């Protein structure tokens, strides 16, 4: 895989944020730092990105290569100057502590996708393996900005409110409001293995297909400026639409959706 194509694919969050910045009249000028592809033309060796097993329930949260994602702060490029995770290690410290308390391997926390929408931190989807299991279950968590608590979710977990068995997607989303009344919606998420695609519909914007099952771990993201409050995610499997996830997020707030 060439450095150009690989890095370009992972620079999408920056492009999306840039669009949102322009549309909101510069209110989000402090948004995600701009990353530049290092050493164009070089070959960057990375693990393959493969989606979870094409199955429903807990089986759909099992990845063929084990825990997916990048190490927090993982640097790529000849000069190790591109943070492919988009996250600094210190930013997942609370998630690691929560993982340890939940019986997961805190040192095994990985970042599937992240989006830096402001100065209060990142929105991210994390993954980590359970301890003392063979094979170890992969659990996931949605990381919100600031000091919001982190709750890990695992397949076949007895804590029913936090299990993944009936969840097709896990999403972290935030809506920011500017002084001129415009809003910016940022979201990151991951899809279960049987999900074929995910579309985003927000008022005043054309429908966007933000995920198609293929050469990824199942992660997706978007940054848009809705004309009005509201919106929804449409989740499809092989047979068609199977779930609608309302985006009931008030301006100035953030939420985890599943």
Note the pLDDT of residue 23: 41
Question: By C-alpha distance, which of 171, 185, 190, 11 is closest to 84?
Answer: 11
Measured between alpha carbons, how far is 14 from 16 in angstroms, rounded to an integer? Answer: 5
How many CA atoms lie less than 13 Å away from 97 in the CB half-sphere? 6
pTM, entire model: 0.84
86 contacts 114 by C-beta, under 8 angstroms: yes
pLDDT mean for each 10 residues of the chain (258 residues): 45 43 40 44 71 96 95 84 90 97 96 90 96 93 95 83 86 87 91 98 92 97 87 97 95 92
CA–CA dist 255, 248 (Å, integer): 9
d(CA 56, CA 206): 30
Q: What pLDDT is attached to residue 178?
A: 76
CA distance 91 to 145: 10
What is the DSSP code (8-state) at residue 23?
H
């Amino acid at each position: 895989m060439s450095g150009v194509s690989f890095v370009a694919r992972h620079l999408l969050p920056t492009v999306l944020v840039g669009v949102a910045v322009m549309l909101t009249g510069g209110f989000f000028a402090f948004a995600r730092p701009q990353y530049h592809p290092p050493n164009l033309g070089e070959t960057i060796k990375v693990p393959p990105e493969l989606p979870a097993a094409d199955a429903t329930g807990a089986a759909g949260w099992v990845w063929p290569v084990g825990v997916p994602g990048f190490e927090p702060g993982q640097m790529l490029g000849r000069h190790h100057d591109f943070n492919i995770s988009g996250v600094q290690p210190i930013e997942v410290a609370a998630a690691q502590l929560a993982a340890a308390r939940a019986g997961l391997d805190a040192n095994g926390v990985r970042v599937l996708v992240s989006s830096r929408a402001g100065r209060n931190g990142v929105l991210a989807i994390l993954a980590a393996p359970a301890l003392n299991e063979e094979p170890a279950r992969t659990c996931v968590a949605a990381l919100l900005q600031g000091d919001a608590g982190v709750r890990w979710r695992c397949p076949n977990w007895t804590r029913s409110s936090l299990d993944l068995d009936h969840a097709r997607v896990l999403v972290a989303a935030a809506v920011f409001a500017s002084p001129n009344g415009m809003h910016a919606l940022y979201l990151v998420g991951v899809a279960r293995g049987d999900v074929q695609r995910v579309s985003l519909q927000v008022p005043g914007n054309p429908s966007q297909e933000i995920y198609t099952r293929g050469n990824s771990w199942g992660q997706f993201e978007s940054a848009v400026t809705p004309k009005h409050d509201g919106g929804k995610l449409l989740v499809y499997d092989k047979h068609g639409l199977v779930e609608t996830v309302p985006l009931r997020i008030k301006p100035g707030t953030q939420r985890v959706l599943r």
